Structures are given as C-alpha cells and as structure tokens.
Structure 1
Amino acid sequence: MDKIDEAIVELLEVDGRLTHREIARTVGLSRSTAAARVQRLIASGQVIVRGAVHPAVIGRGELAHVSLTLGGPAAPIAAAISRRDDVPFLSLTTGTYGLVAEVRAGSAREIDQTITELRSLDGVLGVNTLTYVEVVRDVIGPVGDVRTDIDDVDRALLRTLQDDGRASYVDLAAAVGLSPAGARRRVVRLVESQVVRIGAVVRHSGQDRQSAMGLGVRLSGRHEQVVAALTAMKSAIFVARTVGRFDVLVTVRAFSNAQLVDSLDAVRALPGVAAVESWTHLEVVKESYAAGFVAPELGNSPRADAGRLTVSIDAEGSSE
C-alpha cells in the first residue's frame, strides 16, 4: 500500500460504508480513481470491510485476553485454536508468549472452561489471562452499551453485513425483504445504537508496511487520565481496561519501526504510567468477529417496511 491507500484504509476503518465520492473528496482523487483503489484493496484480500456486531448482542459479553507460553512450534497450536468459535482473534507474537488470543463467551464460567481447554493443548506450557473491564477504543468493533432492541430482520441484516460491510442497500434489502430505504434506516439505527460497527480490517501478514504492537500498561494511580490520553493517540487502534497483570491493554499501529518506538515512548511518558511491556504481532492468524452469530431464516413473511415506495439512493460506494 502507498500513502494514498493508507489514507483510504484509515477512512474505511472509521466508516466502512463511505461512498467512493466521499473517499475521493477527502483524499483528493477523482471518483473513478478512488473506486478503483478501493476495489483493488478489497480484491487483494489485504483489506476486508465487515460489520462487527457488539459481543453482547451475540451472547458473548464476557471478554478475555489470553497469552500462551509455548513449548514447541506455534503453527500447529495456532491451527487448533483458530478453529474455535469463541476465539475471534489470534496472533503470532514476539516475546515471552508465542501466541495471544481474544476469547469471547457468555459468562465468566465459560471463559474459565475455554482457558482450561487452551491450557490443555499439546505444546502449551501455560497461559496468562487478562479480563476485560471495559473496551474504550476499537477500530474494528463497537464499544459501550447497546442502546436498542433488535428483531429478526435486524439480525438478518447484521449477518449480511458481517459477510460484506459494503453491500449495497439494494442487496441488503433483497436479502431481508425490505425496501432499500427501509434497509438504510435500519442499518443507520444499528450503527448509531452501537449494535454494529462497519469498518475495514487490515490483514497483517508481516509482509506489508503496516505493523502492530501490543502494550501492557501498569498504572501508578487512577486510570481516567491515562486511558483518555491513550484513546486520543492516533496510533492506538485498541484500548481496554483490564484486570490482571496489566491495568490497560493497548494495540498501536505504525508504518515503520521508528513510529512504533515513538508510540512506545509516548505511552511511557504519560503521567500515571508505571511500566509498559510490549510485543509485536508478527502474523494475525485469525481475525473474525462473525463467529457465533447466525441470522434467522426469514422466509416469505411480510415485513413492516416491505412494499413501501423505494426512494432514490446514492448509486455509488456502499450504496451501488
């Protein structure tokens, strides 16, 4: 990716349904050139636009970060863990722990059961677990409390958006039995109420210019000011308060080792930060937030919005 691609990706991370015209206006390209770049990035598989549903909506509101100490090659262990539905994120890392995973489950007891099973895998010498208290920033998934109830039509829309976050309103409408205008209204409501976040996911293979580093932060006092400062950092793509060996868990992104060093030093320099441990994500093995959520079969039953007059919509970008 060049710098223009990077700028486009940053826009899509914030709003994966931006139209080509909106992207072109922001980065200074023609609409056709912006469209070609977006399509190339997505076609390459390096950038995927998906709808990430709030964990509470899929009954997996308990989250934990698990670091695994390995006694042998990481690849076969990673392959076994990646098949688990309750592990949406898994990465090969540097440092003491060869693998880090995020676990999502419906209860603390289910988290405990998963940790037991991970610890029992051949080649795993031990695990170290952080429990999430609060996810404050996430460029992929929604944070905060869900502020609306959802019905079967919403669930069908969410499942479709998980498959393709840039699906047109025409295609979304056809998939769930709504008018395009009705589909648009529902998607806007789901996004605004924190049920779903639609954004770009960048596949970190270790061969691209973009790198990611995990930071475990220990505090010397209250968390509020430190967490606010970390969340405001442009390079921070994930910030969560945790219970365990760290008080705050952070992921920062950079396009060079020098930028990673700058981010690390910036965190160390924050008042209230007592210590920072770091690890580099060498390869993201799995990053899928659709697991565990299956849309209902809608059949041919009538919908509240079905049959209404279809209004004209923007025929480009996510609406084409």
Structure 2
Amino acid sequence: MDNLTKQIIAVLRRDGRISFVNIARNLNVSRDNVAARVVPLIESGQIRVVAALHPQVLGLTVSAHLSISVSGDVRPVIQQLEKLSSAVFISIAAGAYHVIAETRHSCMSELSAEVSVVRSLRGVVEVQVLIYDRVLTSFLHREQPNVLSYKFDEIDIALISLLQNDGRASYSDLSQKVGLSISGCRTRVLHLLRSGVIQIGAIKQRSNMIDDFIFGIGINVNGDIDAAARILSSGWGLEFLARTVGRFDVLATVSFSSLRDFNQLVSRLMALKSVTYCEQWLHVQILRERYEYPIEAIELGTAARA
C-alpha cells in the first residue's frame, strides 16, 4: 500500500462520507486517482466505512484499557475475553504485556467486577487498568455526544442501522429505505453527526497485519500533555489519543509502515522535557475491533431534541 493510499484512508477515517472530489482537493491529487484507490479497497473488504454509535448514547460512560500479563499459552485467556460483551477490542501484543483489551461499561462498579473476572482467569498473572479520562482523537468518540438533548425516533434508528452497514450509502438509497425525502435524510444524518451521536469513518481489515505496524504508546508527563499530543498528531498514523488515569497519563495508538518511522516518533517524544517515561508495544494480531452496537438498545424518545 503506497503512501497516497494511506493518506486517503486516514482522511476517510476522520470523515467516512467525504466526497472523492474533496479528498482529492485536500491531498492535491485528481479525483480519478482517489477513486481508483478507494473503490477496490471497499469492494475487496480491505476497508469498511461504517457508522459507529457513541457508547454514551447507550449509557456506557466508562471506558478502560486493560494490559494483561499471561503465563503460558494466551489462547485460553483470549477465548474467555471474547465471551465478554464489554470487550470491544482484543489483541495479542508484543511488549511488557501479552494481551491488550478495551472495554466499555455503564459504571465503575461494573468495570471493577469485570476486572476481577479477568484477574481470576487461569494463566492471568497481572492486569493493569487505565481509565479514559478524556478521548482526544478517536474514530469512535471524537467529542461528547449531546445525548441529553437528543430524541430518537424510528427513522433515526433506521438510518443508524443502515449506516452501520454502509457509512457511504447515498441519501437517495437511504431515502428509499426509510421512507423520508432525500433532503430529510440529509438533515437527519447531519444532525446525528453534528450532535456526536454517531461518527462515520473507515476501518481497515486487520486480520493479516501485513501493511502496517500498529503500536500502542503509554506516556507519563511532567506538566501538560500538549507538546506530546502535537508530536503524536503530526502524521497520518495517529488512530487514538486519550488522557488516562492509571500508570500512564497519555495513551496513543499509531500505525506505521516502517519501524524506522516509528522509532523516529518515539525519539521525538523522548526528547521532550515534559515526557518522563514512554512505553511501547506492538499489536501482533488484532482479534476484535468492534464499533457496531445493537440498535435495539436505543430507546425511542430517549430525551428531548434540542
């Protein structure tokens, strides 16, 4: 995968419904050049453009990152983790810990109970927990949704369901399937996006892990995180960035096509006076990366629309 294709995917990750014309304008290339790359990727399943429902819409207000150390074969532990409905991300990692998981919960007591379950699994030696204090960059929760002022109706839920399957579905197709005018569908979708209820973006098929190295980075800082955040955000590879409570102050996920480029990023971070510690790990195999939620969990008329 060449550098231009990676840049196009990065743009689509941030805005899955952006037109080929606007992608071309942003990257200073032709529209045909963009289409020639994106269409085969979507048709082959290498990337999917989907709508992700913000977890807070479903009352999932607590998100956590688990670093799990395992003695022996990790597969039995993975099999048990895959049974947890709260686990939206699971990977086998190379680093200080062998398994990485991300979970979402309705409250801290629910998280605490689940961490106890994970610690009790045969083979688990240690579980380190990071609580997401504020997510700064993510495909999933870019900003806090205005849930308290949003009232869901059947058309909203139908649109979310369709967009979870195909985030680039045309307004014409959406109109035919939900029985609303094209302009009405456009208004509804834009409202869902602007309120933060959904985010539409591209996700890559990670099963083979041959195009990119996916790294996790945990950072401790003395003072504010602004300088570290600027370095992490300076390239196309940043996928996730959050302030955290726990053994790290900052957690990031970045993708690189070469170890040299990743090493240069880490060197820049370590050169900052504000950075006191920087730990890295490689996601060797991503086993679960889930953004869809059952729309049945959305209650009609959850709140009054602003």
Aligning the two structures, in what range does the TM-score lie when normalised by the shorter sequence? 0.7 to 0.9
- Bigger drift between 70-79 and 207-216 goes to 70-79
Task: Describe the superposition over 1:139-194 as per-residue Cα deviations: whole angstroms up to 9, x where unpaired.
Answer: x1132321341312323322322222112212323333322211111111221222
Gaps of 5+ in 2: 301-306
Aligned-residue offset at 1:243: 0.9
Quick check: 1:251 aligned with 2:248?
no
Query: Residues 56 and 207 (structure 1 numbering): CA distance in 2 closer, same or farther, change over 3 Å?
Result: closer
Other-structure match for 1:135: 135
Q: Give distance in 2, aligned partners of 1:108 and 1:129.
A: 12
Task: Provide TM-score, normalisation by structure 2.
Answer: 0.87
Other-structure match for 2:303: none
Aligned-residue offset at 1:204: 3.0
Other-structure match for 1:229: 230
Q: Give distance in 2, aligned partners of 1:188 and 1:154.
A: 11
- Bigger drift between 143-152 and 194-203 goes to 143-152
Task: Describe the superposition over 1:208-252 as per-residue Cα deviations: whole angstroms up to 9, x where unpaired.
Answer: 2211111111112x2243454255332332111111111111112
Q: Give distance in 2, aligned partners of 1:6 and 1:134.
A: 27
Q: Give distance in 1, aligned partners of 2:36 and 2:230.
A: 37
Give the letter for the 2:6 counterpart. E
Other-structure match for 1:265: 267
Q: State the superposition RMSD in angstroms.
A: 2.3
Other-structure match for 1:57: 57
Task: Provide TM-score, normalisation by structure 1.
Answer: 0.84
Q: Give distance in 1, aligned partners of 2:73 and 2:52.
A: 31
Gaps of 5+ in 1: 299-320
* Aligned counterpart in structure 1 of residue 283 of structure 2, from 261, 281, 302: 281
Identical counterparts, % of pairs:
35
Equivalent runs, 1:113-262 vs 2, <5 Å: 113-138=113-138, 140-147=139-146, 148-152=149-153, 153-205=155-207, 207-220=209-222, 222-226=223-227, 228-230=229-231, 232-234=233-235, 235-262=237-264
Check whether the contact 1:46–1:203 (CA below 8 A) recurs between aligned residues: yes
The number of residues matched between the two structures is: 295
Other-structure match for 1:315: none
Check whether the contact 2:93–2:99 (CA below 8 A) recurs between aligned residues: yes
Query: Residues 170 and 121 (structure 1 numbering): CA distance in 2 closer, same or farther, change over 3 Å?
Result: farther
